[in-house]
Structure 1
């Protein structure tokens, strides 16, 4: 599949972290999302029903980040991937990068990237 929907620089907040000082308030995260979707029908029809609703994807991601309170970025990313694959049947696969900026001294950004598909999830 070569068709991809990209949502880059999605700003969310999540209560996430291993240390006690990280568990007192939500912190900002940035997400980049690549969704593998067959866009041929939408390209022909110009009908939103033939694609994935970007706003609904963003709302799903935001809801997972607000609801979940894991310690690890890996766990949060896994839960986001699972939720997206469960809610949006048109998504064949996805790659999610979660950035946690400013968490380490002398490191601008820490990030993890997960790739999931219907076959692997």
Structure 2
């Protein structure tokens, strides 16, 4: 059995897009993450250092979006998940990335990926 630690609706600003005008502005991105983690040890000890620190992960994502630029959200999602796996020793991550303003008639468009740490 594997537990899930999740972050929903994390909103970040990023320079993202293929058009010249998009490369000059920041746009809103919305992240949902599900990360596999065995929560029995942190629950049994009440020790924050044994958990997946969702505040640290959230801050990592916000900083990543503030400092990196990509044309495609697909590229941003792949690079970010690889970095999260490495930085936080994650074994499995499901990331949903939405770009709410991309299609005016849609509430949001985006990608959803699921990646595993290499064994």
| TM-score, length-scaled by structure 1 | 0.92
1:1-121 mapped onto 2 (5 Å cutoff): 1-89=1-89, 91-119=90-118
SS where residue 70 of structure 2 aligns? coil
Aligned 8 A contact 2:28 2:101 in 1: no
SS across alignment from 1:65: helix
| Local SS of the residue matching 2:24 | coil
For the aligned residue pairs, the C-alpha RMSD in angstroms reads 1.3
Counterparts of 1:35 and 1:53, CA distance in 2: 11
- Cα pair 2:18 2:71 within 8 Å, conserved: yes
Could you tell me how far apart the structure 1 residues matched to 2:46 and 2:94 are?
Answer: 25
Name the CA distance, whole Å, in 2 between partners of 1:83 and 1:70: 15
Count of aligned pairs between the two proteins: 119
Distance 2:105 2:17 in 1: 18
- Stretches (4+) displaced over 6 A: none
What are structure 1's unaligned runs of at least 5 residues?
Answer: none
TM-score, normalised via structure 2 length: 0.94
Structure 2: tracts of 5 or more residues without a match? none
